[in-house]
Amino acid sequence: MKFTSVLAAGTAAVLVLGLTACSSSEEGGGATDDVSITVLPKNLGNPYFEASMTGAQEAGDELGAAVEEVGPDAASPDAQVPFINTAAQQGRGALVVSANDPTAIGDALEEARSAGTKVVTFDSDTEPQFRDLFVNQASPEGIADKQLELVADQIGGEGEIAILSASANATNQNAWIALMEEKLASDYPDIELVETVYGDDDDQTSFDKTAALLQSHPDLKGIVSPTTVGIAAAARYVSTSEYKGEVAVTGLGTPNQMREYVEDGTVEAFALWNPTDLGYLATQAAAALVAGDITGEEGETFTAGRLGEFTVGTGGEVLLGEPFVFDESNIADFDF
């Protein structure tokens, strides 16, 4: 599995660096039994976040921290507020949250932080002043470029494309879309982005938006969906339609959700990172904040268990890695 070996190579490199850093703390994260961490995904029922939760739990078990997941059913801007308030009232040590909106949960996060709860955003950030640290899955430029490379390749470098995104305010998707728009204008003169629509990370809404896109743009050559919910719904729609093999579907998906569409020829290739590792890293970072090993300042380092050592970068960001491409040659090797 190439994925594993890429991570292993990265880990080996950071382990070497880790030898000097370890002397300052007794053991890795330094968390104790009474560390409690609440994980708050954009919404429940999304396999991507279920995979993140597996990693969060794994980190919790290793660190002896109590990790729980709570979250709203719908990925709407302020649906996470009551869960943040509850975590603060319960005196949880840290909150690990993927934000549906860059500012809508800001006040609640500020209150939680003044009550002593550390805040780590992961996957989708808030504005930086609302959190201690952001654990980013990959560079936004890398994620944008990879999706454009995939769609350009699949439509022969020219024609109309559309974007099927998550919710309209999602910080992560909006950053990637803005970068894709820039790069399309500068590097892909023959590809036209005709519309961007929002499926709200809801399967049925995403499915219906796919149907509508295909109807309103009869010359559409490709759909780029930078959300695991959207790409799976788009692929399902296209797989039983007249557009199968005619309209490319690509973007960001989980291998388990996309496998049948790669195997039946609806989807050629798509990308993602390892969401389990992302949840694991975010939880390790949260425990390091609670233990006082780090504060979120640029240049600080911490050890994230099996992933090795990480350094806090500019703007309080910690980067997991780079996106990975899945296609027919490797999709059978993954299980998440």
Residues at the interface with ligand RAM (CB under 6 A): 42, 46, 48, 98, 123-124, 166, 170, 172, 201, 227-229, 252
Taking the least distance from each CB to ligand RAM, the nearer of 87 and 166 is 166
Taking the least distance from each CB to ligand RAM, the nearer of 36 and 250 is 250
Spell out the residues 6+ positions from residue 273 whose beta carbon is closer than 8 angstroms to its own.
137, 138, 320, 321, 322, 323, 324
Tell me the CA distances in angstroms from 110 to 105, 115, 167, 287, 296, one per residue in order.
Answer: 9, 9, 23, 19, 15
Q: How far is the CB of 49 from ligand RAM (least distance, A)?
A: 7
Structure tokens at 214: 């295909």
Q: How far is the CB of 204 from ligand RAM (least distance, A)?
A: 15
Taking the least distance from each CB to ligand RAM, the nearer of 97 and 220 is 97
Q: How far is the CB of 162 from ligand RAM (least distance, A)?
A: 17
Cβ-contact 131, 109 below 8 angstroms: yes
Region for residue 243 given its phi and psi (left: phi exceeds 0; alpha: psi -120 to 50; beta: otherwise): alpha
Taking the least distance from each CB to ligand RAM, the nearer of 154 and 169 is 169
Report how far apart the first and last C-alpha atoms of the chain are (Å, whole number): 14
Q: How far is the CB of 232 from ligand RAM (least distance, A)?
A: 9
Q: Which of 62, 120, 123, 68 shows the shortest CA–CA distance to 94?
A: 120
Taking the least distance from each CB to ligand RAM, the nearer of 269 and 291 is 269
DSSP 8-state secondary structure symbol assigned to residue 239: H
DSSP sequence for 164-215: EES-TT-HHHHHHHHHHHHHHHHH-TTEEEEEEEE-TT-HHHHHHHHHHHHH
Taking the least distance from each CB to ligand RAM, the nearer of 50 and 327 is 50
Compute how many other C-beta atoms are within 10 angstroms of the C-beta atom of residue 263.
12
Q: How far is the CB of 16 from ligand RAM (least distance, A)?
A: 30
The residue whose Cβ lies closest to ligand RAM is: 48
Taking the least distance from each CB to ligand RAM, the nearer of 150 and 291 is 150
DSSP 8-state secondary structure symbol assigned to residue 335: -
Q: How far is the CB of 42 from ligand RAM (least distance, A)?
A: 5
Compute how many other C-beta atoms are within 10 angstroms of the C-beta atom of residue 119.
27
Q: Which of 16, 333, 325, 314 shows the shortest CA–CA distance to 147?
A: 325
Q: How far is the CB of 12 from ligand RAM (least distance, A)?
A: 27
